[in-house]
Amino acid sequence: MKTRLFFAVLGWLFYVACKGAYKGYFSSDDLDNLAWTRFAHYDAFVEGLFTPRFYTTNFRPVGHFFFWCMGRWADLQYPPYMAVVHGLHFLNTILLWRLCGKFELPWLARAAGTVLFAFHMAAFDAYWKPMYVFDVLCAAFALASILCWTGGHRWWSLGLFFLSYKSKELAVAVPLVLALYEQWFGQKRFRALIPHGAVAALFAGQALLMQSGQAGDYGIRLTPATLWTAVQFYGAALGPVALLPLLHWKDKRVWFGMAALLLFLGPMFAVPGRLFSAYLYLPLAGLGIAFAAVVDRWRWVTAALLLWLPLQYFALRDRRNVALAEADETRIYVGKVRGVAREMPDIEQILIDGYPASMRRWGVEGALRLAFDRDKVNATFVEDTRRPEPDAAKTLAVLSWSASQRDLLALRRTAGNDAAYIELGRLTPFWLLTEGWFQGEDRFRWIAPVAKAKLRKPAGGTRFSVTVNVSPQYIAAVKRSTLTVLVNGVEIGKPVYTENGWLTDYFAVPPAAKDEMVDVEFRVEPPFRPTNGDPRTLGVPIAAFGFR
């Protein structure tokens, strides 16, 4: 009865603390996973589950199957996703409680270790964002595997270990954790662990062969510098509470818990491009065991836990506000994209002119695939200074996002709207800007040192103008800027800027007998390199240009 009451109170406290998660929204990873799994056949997950291979594409069949199921059941209704994640998290607290019982820890110690695991803010993202369901599922199967082993069910343990690995690669350490259990608490049944070790060696060997020294976030690069960076990051995320097991270091239960923490986290030390505190979710179970052992020896440590909990809640409130603000912006964007898809279902090409700062490209593309219900979309991002020109024979739309107004505007290319004069505001016909243009900033756009466009030169047109927005900071940095303007490769003007302001220059051009499309090119000297952390090499900010 006491245990049931404990878990009832634990569940209620967790709900009170994390009910705001149900007001959140999908991350870029979520949108991408939902998009590609929508068009996947279940056979792909069955094959991925039973194929003993390491996927360099980070295909995790158990976790991705979650998105396959939820996408078909709940679509983009967010609360059901969080309900499942929270249910799995609550299951993991029960599994940890039972595992602590295997070490003959008393009721209070087990409760303390379980509370530490349930509320540690290092794992905040794991129970606030579906994208980390891989870690939550991995923990569930890994803890169940260890429990089965301690109960003498080694083949069940092997199957659950396999499922754990197919949820997240951190589970590769399960055989080592079981070996330590046998050494310190078991009957030293190391030969019985050979199947577990063989599976782990198979996957670990493939990972080392395929990922060692590779570039990218998932490349394995273990050096003293990268190791120290990871230790600093995860140490800071764990906080001082991780040092409390040192109070009772001679207890082998503390050894086991801390070893499990380090072993489960070990693979992430070799992947310096992926430093996220949510990866501590499974390792925190080891810390929970070690902490419970300390409480068993020093009851007063429970008071430290009671002081620690409010600090975690205050930290949760701060992170909650950021998470909900980002979620709200993403929700608006995805909703607007779905509206565009309903109004323009025949669009074949899409130019993305800005998107919420909290989103990533793969999230934007995922939102488009979900909205247009397509396995693939032809999407191009305007900040790519070198990008293929849109196919004139295909329908095209520009999606322009305003961060200040939190609004998405769509401009469809139609016959006859090839402009002679362009104002670089929200609804710029971006298909005419072919190279070297960056995202819009209200009434102007920065260009690269070389930028190109196509314009319609009207019959009889004899004047070309360009308007720039030169800031005092720009002039202070470059002193003197020269803009060379060319039409069809012929220089028509070369204004020099030494003062700030909205400046317009006019150039004479020979008249045309009829309307024609021409190539316009801007060249800027010297290039401008911002000192505010912006990595771009820029030319000059242009507000408008064309034939008048």
Nearest to 524 by CA among 415, 436, 442, 412: 436
**pLDDT tens digits for 520-545?**
999 999 999 988 878 889 999 999 99
Spans of all domains in the chain = 52-299, 418-548
Please report the pLDDT score of residue 213 as a whole number. 60
| Mean pLDDT along residues 38-64 | 89
Rounded Cα distance between 95 and 169, Å, is 20
Beta bridge partners of 410: 399
Give the rounded percent of residues in the chain with a pLDDT score beyond 90: 58
| Residue 226 main-chain phi, psi, to 5 deg | -70, -35
Residue 217, pLDDT above cutoff 70: no
Integer Cα distance of 22 and 129 in angstroms: 10
Rounded Cα distance, 347 and 167, in Å = 37
Q: Which of 78-92, 196-210, 213-227, 384-398 has the highest mean pLDDT?
A: 78-92
Question: Between 464 and 299, whose confidence is greater?
Answer: 464
54-105 pLDDT per residue, tens:
887 888 999 999 999 999 999 999 999 999 999 999 999 999 999 999 999 9
Kindly compute the dihedral angle of the four CA atoms of residues 372, 375, 381, 387, in this order, to the nearest 10 degrees.
Answer: -130
Instruction: Give the whole-angstrom CA distance, residue 54 versus residue 59.
Output: 9
Treating both helix axes as pointing N-terminal to C-terminal, what angle do 301-343 and 361-372 enclose, rounded to 10 degrees? 50
Is residue 396 a contact partner of residue 412, using CB atoms and an 8 Å limit? yes
Q: Are 281 and 136 in contact (CB under 8 A)?
A: yes
CATH fit for domain 418-548, picks 1.10.10.10, 2.60.120.260, 2.40.128.110, 3.40.50.20: 2.60.120.260
Bridge partners of residue 456, in order along the sequence: 517
**Average confidence score pLDDT of the chain:** 90
Distance, in Å, from the CA atom of 359 to the CA atom of 336, rounded to the nearest integer, reads: 14
Q: In whole angstroms, give the CA distance from residue 548 to residue 506.
A: 9
Contact by Cβ (8 Å): 454, 434: yes
Confidence label for 335 from pLDDT (cuts 50, 70 and 90): very high
- What the block records as the tokens of 387 is 């990008």
In the numeric block, which tokens belong to residue 162?
A: 């396999």
Between CA 325 and CA 333, with CA 329 as vertex, the angle to 5 degrees is: 165
Cross-strand pairs, 422: 545
Confidence of residue 416 (pLDDT cuts 50, 70, 90): low
Kindly state the tokens that stand for 270. 């070799």
Is 352 a residue whose pLDDT tops 80?
yes
Instruction: Give residue 241's pLDDT.
Output: 86
Q: Are strands 349-353 and 378-381 parallel, antiparallel or unpaired?
A: parallel
Q: How many CB atoms lie within 10 A of CB 489?
A: 8
Residue 168 has a pLDDT of 93
Q: Which DSSP helix (H) or strand (E) runs through 258?
A: helix 252-269
Summarize pLDDT for 380-408 with one digit per residue, the tens. 888 776 777 788 788 889 898 888 888 89
What is the torsion angle, in degrees rounded to the nearest 10, for the CA atoms of residue 228, residue 130, residue 26 and residue 76?
160
| Helices marked H in 131-251 | 133-150, 154-165, 174-184, 194-211, 224-238
68 or 312: whose pLDDT is higher? 68
Lowest mean pLDDT among 39-53, 215-229, 462-476: 215-229
> What is the distance in angstroms between the CA of the first residue and the CA of the last residue of the chain?
84
